[in-house]
């Protein structure tokens, strides 16, 4: 093992306040001394680099070392964020930070460490009173007029992960950080890390707990998104919190809004950071919704709703006799267009109102916006960008993220989206139809939009750069036999978007192919979108585009 790596590991041990991670690292070093090559590679991976702090904050596997999530790294992040806020504070004004946490392992520990360090730096630190959904934290930043917010969560990542998400108040209105704030905070964190000993960071227990009135205000605002219409009476639906923190808050909102309670997936309704019934706590993953479908079949449900573990995403499923098991999970684009249609009808006639989605989400939202005379904005991926669209009244992203109440929360919110969806379902029942019927009406009004994804996982991240370089050097003239009409290279700046490593390929028949590296995994992603006059036509076009996209990938790999 290189001397620098060994020295870094020893220095880490000397400052780590967590007995568990100290024991973990000590055991690894002992195994290295005994000649264990697996342990040597593990230690090298932990200490050869740091988890990067970016626009998604920090996220990674729990464990000792700067390339893992732990109390040392969180202390450095909190102290760096405090320094950033103090440097930018108005003269005579004390910055404030509100901190939230979910039910993952160590979330509460990381949150309290952060609160003590913020307070020790002289900031006004406010800790939410218990584990709560991410949207409640995003709401609290604006509601309390805080300078910033921190949410300790890894959302729907694997069970052994955790993360540290940062929001900014003031002019940012409680949205997640974007450039250049991410780089500036990262630089401040590095200054703290270079000092070497988190034991020297001032701490104080002088933080305060947020009052229950903050949660009450979120409940009231979210219940007002869609008060239950008459059709809600007798609505039978099933719900899973995916072992996360959504149910307690959602249950209160249902009561205030007037919706009947669902049949819950009892094995998944309470927070459990080990996620015992799912291999991957993401409603998009195969098998994650199986217990929800089982519950729905047993209870005769008309609808299934699911939140991810921190409740910022929403999954929806409807009965479908043609699908094995009798339930079909809707895509994020299908739900996004339904909720966008709802928002457009409500905003019709508002000159400044805008619908927004990420550039990899369905172009159907633009058709809806234009139909109602509203503005439309396509943004880079992530709600840090979507939430900043001027005049936004609704935004969504195909990865199950929806922003239905931007005046309340400037982030995706799976709880308010659930309330809005229940409102749509109840209104449909009044007219003798259901959510599947609403999708048919959407198709008849705006055309049949169909979407798909192709993901290529690579062993080396450099391979992704090589593929993107090849695509730029040898752009395709056709995909699946359909001519290419134009290619937007977002590295060059397109439609006022910030530069990004994204290629948007438009075909002569109106189909679209978007190619981009994943922001969180070693994957290249291709997003496919088509429109047809019928579902059958859209499916045929999508199959042709899918085959052509795979051939294109094969030709450049």
Is 526 within 8 Å of 468 (Cβ atoms)? no
Is 162 within 8 Å of 104 (Cβ atoms)? yes
Give Cβ neighbours of residue 130 (< 8 Å, ≥ 6 apart).
none
Is 534 within 8 Å of 542 (Cβ atoms)? no
User: What is the DSSP-derived secondary structure letter of residue 490?
Assistant: G
Q: Which residue has the tokens 């050869």?
A: 48
Catalytic residue among 107, 114, 155, 361: 155
Give Cβ neighbours of residue 172 (< 8 Å, ≥ 6 apart).
none
Determine the Cα–Cα distance for residues 66 and 8; give it in Å rounded to an integer. Answer: 9
Number of neighbouring beta carbons within 10 Å of residue 352? 11
Nearest to 97 by CA among 136, 154, 56, 140: 140
Determine the Cα–Cα distance for residues 344 and 434; give it in Å rounded to an integer. Answer: 20
Q: Is 387 a catalytic residue?
A: no
Is 58 within 8 Å of 68 (Cβ atoms)? no
- In angstroms, what is the C-alpha Rg of the chain? 24
Determine the Cα–Cα distance for residues 226 and 242; give it in Å rounded to an integer. Answer: 24
Determine the Cα–Cα distance for residues 362 and 117; give it in Å rounded to an integer. Answer: 43
Q: Is 111 exposed, middle or buried (0-12, 13-18, 19+ CB in 10 A)?
A: buried
Determine the Cα–Cα distance for residues 314 and 79; give it in Å rounded to an integer. Answer: 33
What DSSP string describes 226-243?
A: S---GGGTT--EEEE-TT
Longest dimension (CA), the chain: 73
Give Cβ neighbours of residue 547 (< 8 Å, ≥ 6 apart).
480
Is 504 within 8 Å of 494 (Cβ atoms)? yes
Determine the Cα–Cα distance for residues 407 and 392; give it in Å rounded to an integer. Answer: 9
* Cα→Cα distances 455→42, 481, 546, Å: 27, 21, 12
Number of H helices, E strands in the chain: 17, 22
Strand order in the sheet with 503-507: 448-457, 523-532, 512-517, 503-507, 482-489, 478-479
Q: Is 260 exposed, middle or buried (0-12, 13-18, 19+ CB in 10 A)?
A: middle
Give Cβ neighbours of residue 536 (< 8 Å, ≥ 6 apart).
none
User: What is the DSSP-derived secondary structure letter of residue 57?
Assistant: B
Residues with active-site annotation: 155
């Amino acid at each position: 093992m290189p001397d620098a790596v060994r020295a870094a590991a020893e220095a880490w041990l000397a400052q780590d306040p967590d007995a568990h991670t100290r024991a973990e690292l000590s055991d690894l070093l002992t195994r290295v001394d005994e000649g264990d090559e697996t342990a040597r590679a593990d230690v090298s991976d932990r200490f050869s680099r740091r988890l990067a702090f970016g626009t998604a904050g920090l996220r990674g596997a729990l464990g000792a070392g700067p390339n893992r999530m732990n109390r040392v790294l969180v202390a450095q992040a909190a102290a760096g964020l405090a320094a950033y806020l103090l440097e930018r504070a108005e003269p005579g004004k004390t910055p404030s930070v509100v901190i939230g946490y979910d039910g993952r392992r160590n979330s509460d520990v990381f949150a309290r460490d952060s609160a003590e360090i913020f307070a020790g730096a002289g900031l006004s630190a406010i800790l939410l009173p218990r584990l709560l959904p991410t949207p409640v934290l995003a709401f609290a930043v604006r509601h309390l007029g805080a300078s910033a917010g921190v949410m300790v969560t890894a959302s729907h990542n694997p069970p052994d992960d955790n993360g540290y998400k940062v929001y900014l108040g003031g002019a940012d209105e409680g949205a997640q950080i974007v450039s250049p704030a991410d780089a500036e905070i990262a630089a401040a964190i590095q200054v703290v890390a270079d000092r070497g000993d988190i034991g020297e960071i001032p701490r104080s227990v002088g933080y305060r707990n947020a009052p229950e009135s903050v949660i009450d205000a979120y409940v009231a605002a979210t219940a007002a998104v869609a008060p239950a219409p008459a059709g809600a009476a007798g609505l039978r639906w099933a719900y899973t919190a995916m072992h996360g923190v959504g149910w307690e808050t959602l249950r209160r909102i249902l009561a205030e809004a007037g919706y009947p309670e669902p049949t819950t997936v009892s094995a998944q309704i309470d927070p459990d950071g080990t996620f015992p019934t799912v291999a991957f706590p993401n409603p998009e993953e195969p098998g994650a919704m199986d217990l929800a479908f089982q519950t729905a079949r047993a209870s005769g449900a008309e609808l299934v709703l699911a939140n991810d573990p921190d409740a910022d995403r929403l999954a929806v499923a409807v009965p479908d006799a043609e699908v094995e098991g009798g339930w079909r999970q809707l895509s994020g684009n299908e739900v996004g267009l339904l909720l966008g249609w709802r928002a457009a009808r409500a905003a019709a006639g508002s000159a400044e109102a805008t619908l927004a989605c990420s550039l990899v989400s369905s172009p159907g939202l633009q058709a809806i916006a234009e139909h109602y005379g509203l503005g439309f904005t396509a943004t880079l991926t992530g709600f840090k960008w979507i939430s900043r669209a001027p005049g936004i009244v609704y935004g969504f992203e195909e990865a199950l993220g929806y922003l239905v109440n931007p005046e309340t929360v400037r982030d995706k919110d799976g709880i308010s989206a659930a309330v809005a969806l229940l409102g749509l379902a109840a209104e449909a029942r009044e007219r003798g139809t259901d959510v599947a019927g609403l999708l048919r009406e959407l198709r008849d009004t705006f055309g049949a939009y169909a979407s798909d994804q192709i993901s290529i996982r690579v062993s080396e991240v450099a391979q992704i750069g090589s593929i993107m370089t090849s695509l730029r050097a040898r752009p395709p003239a056709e995909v699946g036999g359909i001519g290419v009409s134009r290619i937007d290279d977002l590295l060059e700046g397109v439609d006022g978007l910030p530069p990004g490593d994204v290629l948007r390929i438009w075909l002569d028949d109106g189909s679209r192919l978007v190619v981009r590296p994943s922001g969180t995994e070693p994957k290249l992603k291709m997003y496919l979108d088509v429109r047809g006059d019928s579902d059958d036509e859209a499916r045929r076009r999508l199959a042709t585009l899918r085959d052509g996209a795979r051939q294109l990938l094969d030709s450049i790999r």
